[in-house]
Amino acid sequence: MGKKYKYVLFYKPYGVLCQFTQDNPTRTTLKDYIPITNLYPVGRLDWDSEGLLLLTNHGQFQHRLCDPKFAHPRTYWVQVERIPTEGAIHQLERGISIKNYHTRPAKVKLLSTPPNIGDRNPPIRFRKTVPTAWLEMTLTEGKNRQVRRMTAAVGFPTLRLVRKSIVNLQLNDLQQGQWRYLMEEEIRVCYDTIYSRSS
């Protein structure tokens, strides 16, 4: 692993661009939160998504986690408009055809209570006559806007999207806007997991 490599977990808030360069003066970036140079996100979270972001300067490690052929799991909490039916959940689990692509099977469950993650700033749109629900979805790929497109395709648009985990790495006690270095044990387990699959 070596001491030259850095591994950082960050709880990305809503509205933060997943980059360090400032190309839009009205948008905040990772640089506004993380005072470390030469780090690169492992995958991305859209500016309107929240949650766990892993950053590193270890290129091979980054590639191994991002390459879809290795099928490493990522889990999301997804707040959707209305209450999904069993049929819609089964569709999401089997995979959804989006344009010319069929998504891989996913693990999906309807949560009985909302996750304990606090409110979003700004809050989601609220409509008295339309209930919302939370899903937990685990995917092994990360196409552009995939979760949002999947839930929309079965008739339940995503209102809020929070990534809770990447492989063995979890949000746990991190608060929005906070970051920390990975612990040695977390790095070891992550290495064991991502390199246990054949290349």
Burial of 177 (0-12, 13-18, 19+ CB in 10 A): middle
Residues paired with residue 158 on neighbouring β-strands, in sequence order: 80
Check if 67 is active-site.
no
Task: Determine the Cα–Cα distance for residues 139 and 106; give it in Å rounded to an integer.
Answer: 5
Instruction: Extract the runs of DSSP E, i.e. beta strands, from 57-150.
Output: 74-81, 97-98, 101-102, 107-110, 132-139
Tokens representing 72 are 């490493």
Q: Where are the alpha helices (DSSP H) in the chain?
A: 59-66, 86-94, 146-153, 184-194
Q: Could you tell me whether strands 50-56 and 158-166 are parallel, antiparallel, or unpaired per DSSP bridges?
A: parallel
Tokens representing 124 are 């989601």
Task: Determine the Cα–Cα distance for residues 163 and 146; give it in Å rounded to an integer.
Answer: 13
Q: Which of 46, 67, 119, 173 is catalytic?
A: 46
Contact 197, 71 (CB under 8 A): yes
Which residues carry out catalysis? 46
